């Protein structure tokens, strides 16, 4: 990170907790954002959670641990928008294990340890993530593929806005004693808009030089490549972040993906 002489990068492996546990124990705060994709996703995620919580408990002084979850734990929302207080009793199959991990993290909150959960929306911006596929597909064959018919909605958020929320959360949790009440420790990060995936794909296609061509990909066929994640990608969600706005002063800089698509492609192409 240019200009940050005090930053020391430590590279670890979610499969091998010894690669990061010592560094975590020396920090005042830790944020778990790593992800494992595949049949062992749940076990490796829990291993990381347990390692970071243990590291936090041996540290001398107040600590903060933030667990990164996601909106898929809310399941399909229909027309009634979900928020941070909505139940997680019908999560997408791909993340059916994650609500239990959220509860485990929140239950670890103690006198000198503040724990919280962040659920980012569908993240775009720079390079990396699901939106890259729309750009890559367009560059490859001129068409952006969507799982299903694209009529479902995603609650989107720019990666820089997600980063800003993490910073606000860490600052509030670590510098203000009692700033986060037990009921206010789950936070959403999204722009506040819910855009239909077909509109997202069309805007991405045009931004990447295409004609706006979108190709539907039947969910049953997409499962061969993505497994249960295909069903999650076709899930309809409308999600808001009132607690993040009220408690953390969260105000997204980028309001939605579709009007930002051209800039998003420039970020993708230059990364």
The pLDDT of residue 3 = 47
CA angle 216, 217, 223 (to 5 degrees): 155
Residue 9 Cα distances to 27, 153, 219, 248, angstroms = 12, 37, 40, 27
Question: Look-up: residue for tokens 């931004």?
Answer: 207
Helix, strand, or coil (residue 97): coil
List per-residue pLDDT tens for the chain, 271 residues long.
444 556 678 889 999 999 999 999 999 999 999 998 889 999 999 999 999 999 998 867 889 999 999 999 999 998 899 999 999 999 999 999 999 999 999 999 988 899 999 999 999 999 999 999 999 999 999 999 999 999 999 999 999 999 999 999 999 987 765 678 878 899 999 999 999 999 999 999 999 999 999 999 999 999 999 999 999 999 999 999 999 999 999 999 999 999 999 999 999 999 8
**45/25 Cα distance (integer angstroms):** 18
Residue 174's φ and ψ, nearest 5 degrees, are: -95, -25
**Across 89-135, where does the E strand assignment appear?**
113-120, 122-124
Angstrom distance (rounded) from CA 152 to CA 198: 8
- Which residue's entry shows tokens 């953390």? 248
**Helix (H/G/I), strand (E/B), else coil: 87:** coil
CA atoms within 13 A on the CB side of 89: 3
Phi, psi angle pair for 131, to nearest 5°: -70, -25
Domains of the chain: 17-270 (3.40.50.720)
H-helix or E-strand spanning residue 261: helix 261-270
Give the three-state DSSP class for 244. Answer: helix
- Helix 197-207 and helix 131-141: axis angle, to 10°? 50
Token pair, residue 72, equals 């898929």
Instruction: Output the six-digit token pair for 24.
Output: 């975590």
CB contact at 8 A, 188 and 84 = yes
Q: What is the pLDDT of residue 178?
A: 62
């Amino acid at each position: 990170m240019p200009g940050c002489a005090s930053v020391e990068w430590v590279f670890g492996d979610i499969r091998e907790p010894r690669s990061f546990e010592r560094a975590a124990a020396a920090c005042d705060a830790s944020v778990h954002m790593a992800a494992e994709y595949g049949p062992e996703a749940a076990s490796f995620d829990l291993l990381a959670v347990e390692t970071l919580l243990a590291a936090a408990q041996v540290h001398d002084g107040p600590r903060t641990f933030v667990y990164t979850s996601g909106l898929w734990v809310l399941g399909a929302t229909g027309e009634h928008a979900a928020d941070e207080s909505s139940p997680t009793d019908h999560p997408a199959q791909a993340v059916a294990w994650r609500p239990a991990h959220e509860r485990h993290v929140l239950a670890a909150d103690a006198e000198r340890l503040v724990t919280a959960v962040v659920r980012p929306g569908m993240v775009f911006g720079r390079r990396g993530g699901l939106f890259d596929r729309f750009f890559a597909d367009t560059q490859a064959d001129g068409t952006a593929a969507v799982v299903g018919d694209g009529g479902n909605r995603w609650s989107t958020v720019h990666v820089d806005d997600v980063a800003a929320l993490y910073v606000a959360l860490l600052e509030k949790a670590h510098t203000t004693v009692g700033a986060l009440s037990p009921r206010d420790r789950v936070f959403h990060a999204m722009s506040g808009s819910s855009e239909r995936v077909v509109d997202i794909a069309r805007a991405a296609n045009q931004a990447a030089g295409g004609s706006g061509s979108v190709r539907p990909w039947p969910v049953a066929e997409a499962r061969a490549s993505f497994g249960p994640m295909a069903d999650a990608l076709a899930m309809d969600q409308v999600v808001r972040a009132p607690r993040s706005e009220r408690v953390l002063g969260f105000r997204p800089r980028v309001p939605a993906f579709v009007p930002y698509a051209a800039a998003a492609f420039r970020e993708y192409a230059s990364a």
